[in-house]
Amino acid sequence: MNQTYYPNLDVQTAVSFPQNLAWAVNAQADELRKEINNWLTEYRKSTRYAVIYNKYFKNRRSASIVKSDFFTLSSGKISQYDEYIKEYSREIGWDWRLLASLIYQESRFDPKARSWAGAFGLMQLMPSTARRFGITTSSPAAAQIRAGTQFIQWLDRRFDDAVPDPEERIKFILAAYNVGPGHIFDAITLAEKHGADPAVWHDNVETFLLRKSDPKYYRDPDVKYGYARGRETYNYVTQVLERYEHYKNLIEDQPLEDS
């Protein structure tokens, strides 16, 4: 865990045999022991556990996320575009800090950002998507955010039937924003085919998106969109949600006031 924050630490050299961690309770407190064991069993299945575990043990970017993501904590701002982010996030029913986390992931709040694939702007929309929502490379920041949120709204409608729970659907929308809805619907199909829950992301649909880089799965006759680099999208969703948790802890929710 500490290597995340101190990369010069060598954790490869064993200095002792592996040791487990445990909690101890009074020998007479059998009911308490059972309650703790039950809680641990259930908590390890939760999204919260996965986010925390990935944050401290898997995501080497955690230290840089904490240090570099915020425009100015002292003023309660995330970026210089907070006003637009709040305005347009309200229109799609999202917490503005979640939208800010997505924008940071896409462009680091740089409206002139360009990707090797041609995506551009704060929301990194591809040219065809940008044209559909009425923006170009010269569009101002507000228009870019408006177009990006309209695309998010379009994705939300695409997954409305497949994922009825609005909070759970956010994960599917984030994944589709990154890799396209076709690959996510393929993963939903595979999840259902293999007995997983097609309406739950963690440990279900995400598992089959990861498997879309395996010929056994992407050549399945029910898969329409073929190979996908599922690991990138898995990391994308994890990092956006993780950063969102940071934002919620550090920035108060101050929605745009009605005029």
Q: In the structure encoding, which two tokens stand for residue 77, read together?
A: 């701002």
**What are the two backbone dihedrals, phi and then psi, of residue 186, each rounded to the nearest 5 degrees?**
-60, -45
Question: Cα–Cα distance between 152 and 155 in angstroms, integer?
Answer: 5
167 is catalytic: no
Q: Which of 106, 192, 206, 252 is catalytic?
A: 106
Question: Cα–Cα distance between 15 and 151 in angstroms, integer?
Answer: 52
Question: C-alpha distances in angstroms, 82 versus 97, 168, 226, 239, 255?
Answer: 9, 25, 38, 20, 10
Question: Cα–Cα distance between 199 and 60 in angstroms, integer?
Answer: 29
Q: Is the CB of residue 135 less than 8 Å from the CB of residue 143?
A: yes
Length of the chain as a residue count: 259
Question: C-alpha distances in angstroms, 225 versus 124, 141, 158, 187, 201?
Answer: 22, 32, 16, 10, 19
Q: In the structure encoding, which two tokens stand for residue 247, read together?
A: 């934002």
- Packing angle of the helix pair 181-193, 230-250 (nearest 10 deg): 100
- Residues with catalytic roles: 106
